[in-house]
Chain A
Amino acid sequence: MRVAENLNAALHEVMAATDDLYLLGEDVSDPYGGAFKITRGLSTRFPGRVLSTPISENAITGVAAGLALSGDAAIVEIMFGDFAALAFDQILNFAAKSVSMYGSRVPMRMVVRCPVGGGRGYGPTHSQSLQKHFVGIPGLSLYEMSPFHDNLALLTHMLGRAEPCVLFEDKVLYTRPMHDVPAPFSLAVADGVARVFLDDEPDCVIVATGGTAHRALAAMRSLLLEEEIVCTLLVPSRLYPFEVEVPPARYVFVVEESSAGGTWGAEVAHQVHRRHWGHLAGPVTLVHSADSVIPTAAHLEDEVLVSESAIHRAIREKLRG
């Protein structure tokens, strides 16, 4: 099953299981079913609870917050995550704050889905990975879709938290298979963290976002075959708050597609430094995209975005010099 099918099926199931759950977004209704076809079939099956909206990210997100405030639940699809900038006030200043700023806990069941990432040639305003802009907001939890986490469990978990969540979905994952791990690696998922590993003691640990996991995995494979470097890959479903127990290792790498500067990976590195400084051979290495807008032309986009070869190179240089 492909990731998009898994997510679509998860939305069907969670809508069926939750009578008071709404889904709102631009062009989400059938027969179009969303720009990436993730909401296909939902408006036909759940008329009245799946609402195609005007091009109004601020209002859609505010309406979702109003529904949540009334005791309903809501999932918002932001067509391209980049447009979440237009909903930022509602997320930062209303939804997230409402959980606690009225002095007692206000449950807010809402999820803002943000397709993000490049690699599709959509250019500077339709290709960004915006995770870093949402890190560190009290009352807001950040999640990222991965090929290793079932989306029904993820959506159920997010709505169960009763506080606003943002779900980042790397667009390149939609067409990739679920749970695909090449031999000789093994996959285990526990407590929302996917671990891809060999039985051997790892030389290094890679913490990667869901959207970069397949690139990290490909680098792990080539590092094993070409350099005999053994890596363990950790892919957290929840990005923030980050509470992943990173196993003690001499080398730790964090991989993300974000452009450089103030990244999620820097937050992860800070936590790893605090917990494991004594075990580390050196500071955590951040592997991310360049400090650049994301160009449209494929050859220019390749130069900017984090890639399998960049991950391979960063790890080889650190471990082999």
Chain B
Amino acid sequence: MADPSVLPWYAALLLPVLLGGVTWLALVGDALFAGERAAVAAPGREVARLLVGQRRRTVASDALLGRVGGAVLPVAALLAAAVLPLGERPVADLSVGVVWFNAMEVLAWAAVWLVGWGANSAPAMVGGYRFVAQGLAYELPHMFAIITAALGAESLRLTTIVEAQRDLWFVVVMPVAFAVYLLSAAAMAFWGPFDAPVARDVAGGAAAELSGVDRLVFAGGRWLLLVVAAAMAVPLFLGGGAGPLLPAWAWVAVKTAAVLALLLWLRHRFPTVRVDRFVPFAWVVLIPLTIAQALAVALVVLGGA
């Protein structure tokens, strides 16, 4: 018998298509923010250009690790989206959904280092190492923020977390965790002010020696990671599909679009910040802040229960 709390099995095959479509729309939105003409066709132009581009091979490159890293980045993003409630039901309602999402994001972090390593090129290595430092620093506040949401619902299952927000959204109960989550989501997808790993001062950083299809896969993986991280803010903090009038999936789409618009605007508003400016901020300010937030929520939960 089909389990009513998860989508049917063929939804797993439709998930990449759906996420690809959302990523396309995000790219259009980014082009609109940048003020490009014919923004609707901007992703199509980029994809076509990269598909016909020539792939690059460097001397004594570690092709095995580089290609594995490039392939794992989008796959990890897709696997992380498997626990995302699309409307009311996710593709896979794991009892440890929050930890699974975290594990897949960390896998994407390792994949970017592999891409930087595989090219046997100094700027690529520098970009890879920048991302290792940045990811490590922002992973802990990220973890604490999503654990605070799980703490508020007393469960690691994402559908239970959505259920627990029926009366009050978590963004009201734990605003600090929500703000830190948005910041760390941008940092983990090396987006916006946090794109030092692929910045111009290291000739494109981790993606320096990528060209053609390799670059398409890498850039696609990075966009997918951003979209999935933004979409995960909805069940964790913004009440999932709750809302009047529209069905659950429509509300999820609207809220995801709002969070994505905020993250896209962030990139066009702020320049790239140097790594040694924002990494100590994560270690020294954000970690105690998120721990204090978790303590506050734990006291509320213990007091209420």
Instruction: Verify that A and B bind, or say they do not.
Output: no
Q: Which residues of A contact B (CB under 8 A)?
A: none
